[in-house]
Structure 1
Amino acid sequence: MGRLADKVAVVIGAGQSPGESIGNGRATALRFLEEGAFVLAVDRDIDSARETLKMSEQGASGEPFEADVRRVESLKQALDFAVSQWGRIDILHYNVGVSVGAGDGPLEVVTEDSFDVVMEVNLRGAVMAAKLVEPIMREQGSGVVLNVSSMSAIETSSQNVAYRASKAGMIAFTQQFALRNAEFGIRANAILPGRVETAMAVDTRARLTGASRDDIIAQRKTLIPLQGHVGTGWDVANAAVFLASEEAAFITGVSLPVDGGALVKIGW
């Protein structure tokens, strides 16, 4: 414990969709708190952000904040609050994403409106958040930006047009941001979750498709090479802790899959 002691982390998407499984953002906020960080738990549903903080014994080291990533002024208010509260921002973790819940799907299904919503939330929000935090971290001479992308950005079997495009764009932007800010001591990396069991991946799909949670989990499990461990939001959170910590001080511009080996099978 203490790998992020006294660091200030802004976790955008610290709440989660309704469901039995813990989401990546909530798990990350909890792990950051556990490792000694001060956490601004940002979510469009502030009650969900509050619930995240209440789940932690270190919850008093965090503050909830309501923000909508589709509104740049809302993001700015969140970052300004973090600076006013703790004087700096050491970690920006962007973990907001929508897909089938916003009407995404194969090309014959996706509409102009659904495409725009997915791109606004998944990609534009990440770009704007990084743009806003950049001058803060440059003045500090340090900082870490983590963007939660997806293995869908690379996996050729993905059929959700807008989601895949947005997550691929996130990887490209993360690399660009990393190079742009390397001279200022700022690192930026992307995390590519695979078929992990989260509320968005399982419970939301169950509600939209009518399939049972067990059937969805079982079907996804058949596509994961690594057996004996069920991937969850905690796996993504642990990757985030590593990339945010000094253990990863010489790592920037990478895309780290957390997928049980699924991306290794590309080309087979």
Structure 2
Amino acid sequence: MTGAGSRGEGIGNGRAIAVLMAQAGARVVAADRDASALDATLAMIAETGVPGLGVVADVGDPAGCAQIVNGALERFGQLDVLVNNVGIVGPAGTAEDVDPEAWDDAFRINVKSVMLMARHAVPALRRSSAAAIVNVSSIVAQRGGHPSLCYPATKSAVLGMTTAMASHYGPAGIRVNSVMPGNVFTPMVTTRGMSEEMRLQRRENNLLKIEGTGWDVGYATLFLASQAARWITGVILPVDGGLTSSVPLPTPPVSRG
């Protein structure tokens, strides 16, 4: 899986996915371009007692993607699941003022990596009897209000690739689904600044009034990757406390009688 580290201490989506899959008995190949972030995840995988493998690689580079897949095959002899989790926020700005070069780099990491990882992984996945791909997107792909143009654009592209790949590879027995996290509290969020007031507001915005975490995203990913979801493909699964399903209730009229 890609993006297995966390941007700071704590549990990000990638770290949670890697640990939960190891706890379920999967031999996880955890990849990240940040060696120190990856080491912390590998330490948690080691605690499960299931062998894992860490690969420091840039998934925006074809060579990095080949390195990850080849490492899995050399170490474990097979590949059953690909989780495309890597992602960056990318440049701020609207269409009028976003940095075009930073835009291209964000698409290289968030979008091109999904294609490149699939390009290298699918030949091995075809040989599996339980093959699955899970792409991690975001609710900003389907819900307006994000202050920047780039991040929602990349995450929308991931959804489009998910449904297209489900059609392409379904006949080969490869299931392709996407998890769409909402406002989860992760190290990536904290490093950008998050006051207690902002956390409360994010929590109150969802229907369950519960703050989501990387573990919530991890459990959803684990389900879609597992044989419990053997007849599920082409699905976009929001993990957001119902935020994408919510419609603000009208304010009751004030009686002035």
Aligned position for 1:18: 8
Query: Who wins on radius of gyration, i.e. which is larger?
Result: 2
Of residues 27, 31, 38, the one that matches 1:49 is 38
Aligned position for 2:59: 69
**Aligned mates of 1:216, 1:64 — CA distance in 2:** 35
Q: Does 1:238 align with 2:240?
A: no
**Superposition deviation, residue 253 in structure 1:** 0.4
Aligned position for 2:255: none
3-state SS in 2 of match to 1:103: coil
RMSD of Structure 2 on Structure 1 (CA): 1.7
8 Å contact 2:206–2:246 — kept in the other structure? no
Aligned position for 1:204: 191
3-state SS in 2 of match to 1:139: coil
User: Residue deviations 1:88-112, cap 9 Å, x none?
Assistant: 111100111111xx32333344210
- Distance change >3 Å, CA 140–CA 125, structure 1 → 2: same
3-state SS in 2 of match to 1:192: strand
**Superposition deviation, residue 222 in structure 1:** 3.1
- Distance change >3 Å, CA 62–CA 81, structure 1 → 2: same
- Aligned AA for 2:34? D
TM-score (norm 2): 0.91
- Aligned AA for 2:165? F
Q: Does 1:222 align with 2:209?
A: no
Q: Which runs of 5+ in 1 are unaligned?
A: 1-10, 207-211
**Superposition deviation, residue 59 in structure 1:** 5.3
Aligned position for 1:259: 240
**Superposition deviation, residue 18 in structure 1:** 1.3
8 Å contact 1:147–1:174 — kept in the other structure? yes
Q: Does 1:170 align with 2:158?
A: yes
**Aligned mates of 1:51, 1:224 — CA distance in 2:** 31
Q: Does 1:97 align with 2:84?
A: no
**Superposition deviation, residue 25 in structure 1:** 0.2
**Aligned mates of 1:116, 1:67 — CA distance in 2:** 19
Q: Which runs of 5+ in 2 are unaligned?
A: 250-257
Q: Does 1:82 align with 2:75?
A: no
8 Å contact 2:4–2:14 — kept in the other structure? yes
Count residues with an aligned counterpart: 248
**Superposition deviation, residue 267 in structure 1:** 9.1
